[in-house]
Amino acid sequence: MKFVVKLSKEEQFAEENPLLGRRKVLQDGQTVEYPVLLRDPITPEERRIVREAWKNNIDTVRRRLAKKDCTRCHGKGSFDVHDYPGHPLWHKLTSSEICGCFLED
C-alpha cells in the first residue's frame, strides 16, 4: 500500500519551487559559490534554512524573511515609530525600527 502524504497548498508550492540556487563568483582567481535566494521562504523549515545560510549577513535577506502577515511591519521587515508622539512640533518625526518577525518561524 502506498502511503500518500497530503501536502498543503503552501507545502506543495514549496516542493515544486526550489528555495535556494547557487551563484559562482570568481574571486582572486578562485571560484566561490554563494547561495542565492530564489523566492521568499514559506514554511517554518525554510525560514530556518534561510536564516542558517545567511547567518553572517542576515541583513541582506531580512526583508525576504519578514512575515507577510506581521501586524507591525506588514511584511516589510521594518516599521516607522514616532519619536515624539503628541509633541506639537516634532510629532511628525519618525525613525525606522527593524521588526523582529524575521527571526520567528
Nearer to Zn ion, 19 or 101 (CB): 101
Q: How far is CA 8 from the centre of its chain?
A: 21
Among 14, 50, 65, 101, binds Zn ion (CB under 5 A): 101
Q: Which of 14, 19, 50, 73 binds Zn ion (CB under 5 A)?
A: 73
* The only residue of 19, 50, 61, 99 in contact with Zn ion, by rule CB under 5 A: 99
CA distances from 78 to 27, 54, 89, 96, 97 (A): 33, 18, 25, 6, 5
Task: Name the residues that contact Zn ion, by CB under 5 A.
Answer: 70, 72-73, 99, 101
